[in-house]
Amino acid sequence: MAKAKSGTIFYCQECGYESAKWMGQCPGCHTWNSFVEEPVRKSSGNGGAAERSQGLSSQGKRPSILSEISMDKEERILTGIGELDRVLGGGVVPGSLVLVGGDPGIGKSTLLLQMCRLLAESGKKVLYISGEESLQQIKMRAQRIGQFRDTLQLLCETNLGEIEGAITREKPEIVIIDSIQTMYQEEVSAAPGSVSQVRESTGVFLKLAKGYGISIFIVGHVTKEGTVAGPRVLEHMVDTVLYFEGDRHASYRILRGVKNRFGSTNEIGVFEMRQEGLCEVKNPSEFMLNGKPEGASGSVVSCSMEGTRPILVEIQALVCQSNFGFPRRQAAGTDFNRVNLLMAVLEKRLGLQISGCDAYVNIAGGMKVQEPAIDLGIVMAVISSFKNRPIEEHMIAFGEVGLSGEVRAVSQAAIRVSEAKKLGFGTCVLPKVCLDKLPKTEGIRLIGVQSVKDVMDII
């Protein structure tokens, strides 16, 4: 077993667990092969002695009683981008530390630069720090976005000491760090982007954000698995984690919050990439349904809730006889195992002979939906393709399907029905349990189903 050399130690890349020797499995997070060897930061070790000599250790901060803590009204800073404010929980909280991750070229820097432009126009003092681009490169991108005011300051630097000095000297309200993997601290003898450098750099920015009340946005690179590169402890240290999703070759982008101490973690923001930058998509349901085929089998619209926002998505299924002994199964935009489970329910409860068929299920528009409420839509799309019977053009369906073939209730059914009615759908298929609880709705026909057997009568 490898032992650390003098002046080095092994760190877990997932949780930051420290060990004097390499281990195959981390005792902290139980992840395999996550230990890397990094140099140890040397410290003088006199700080504690100096405090003890001055008697500070016995006169430190005293704990507070919860009832004695005064609560001021929470004032958020509006970025001017409605979709971004929605994901952040209503705006930027002063003193917060936000991590933004996403694939290369997805638009992370463009979105943050657009945010800086709008905040500068509202009179906020903004500092944009880049470790990847020169000042001329940033200006080229800025000219494509629009005009900027003088309250936006730019700094190209990777030395954490210089950056900390600039922030404490200028006292900006908003700081952008692009990106955390390029920052380094001279006291840490490790390469930029390593576990030690990323952890130390994030700790410094966390101290600046909480100490001076500065809102700091950190851009993070992602690995091939789609997670932020570096130690997993990085996501635990920050207040909010945002992920930019979508194909960089397509026009749409989805900003999803996976952690938020000041709001919901289920909200999403939808953007469209244009020549002048990222533009908000005010009605993502209409955007996702654009181009839906007419009179085609295997196509049905379902409704998914993303936080407080209902989004209508088109579910496409293609079921055909397999020419091989082992049929193919493929799912895009939803859970592959969930699709297999629903097809097994159809074969068992309805007697459909689809075990010898190839089956392909796709969420049109590139959305990734994991909510069980789209189960009924997947079932209807598969049956429609297998029977080669088109579903009614203005019909929408949502509901969770169990292993017994029952259609179970879903949350916020009234909001889903209202969204379908707003977009012109005339028929809504939903769980009968939800139908009994809904008030009378005019302008849309509601059909309640109890099991997948009832679906056969509709198609």
Distance of alpha carbon 270 from alpha carbon 83, whole angstroms? 7
Q: Has 107 been labeled as part of a binding site?
A: yes
Cα distance between residue 454 and residue 406, in whole Å: 10
Q: How many residues does the chain have?
A: 459
Task: State how beta strands 18-19 and 97-102 pair.
Answer: unpaired
The rounded distance, in Å, linking the Cα atoms of 345 and 339 is 10
Q: Which of 270, 229, 267 is nearest to 246 (CA)?
A: 270
CB atoms within 10 A of CB 230: 24
Q: Do 345 and 421 form a contact (C-beta atoms < 8 A)? A: no
- Residue 106 assigned to a binding site: yes
Q: Is 102 annotated as a binding residue?
A: yes
User: Is 108 annotated as belonging to a binding site?
Assistant: yes
Q: 262 with 87: CB under 8 angstroms?
A: no
Burial of 66 (C-beta count, 10 Å sphere; 0-12/13-18/19+): exposed
Contact at 8 Å (CB) between 420 and 328? no
CA 172/CA 359 separation, integer angstroms: 55
Residue-wise DSSP of 3-26? BPPTTEEEEETTT--EESB--SB-
Binding residues for ATP, by number, are: 102-109
Binding residues, by number, are: 102-109
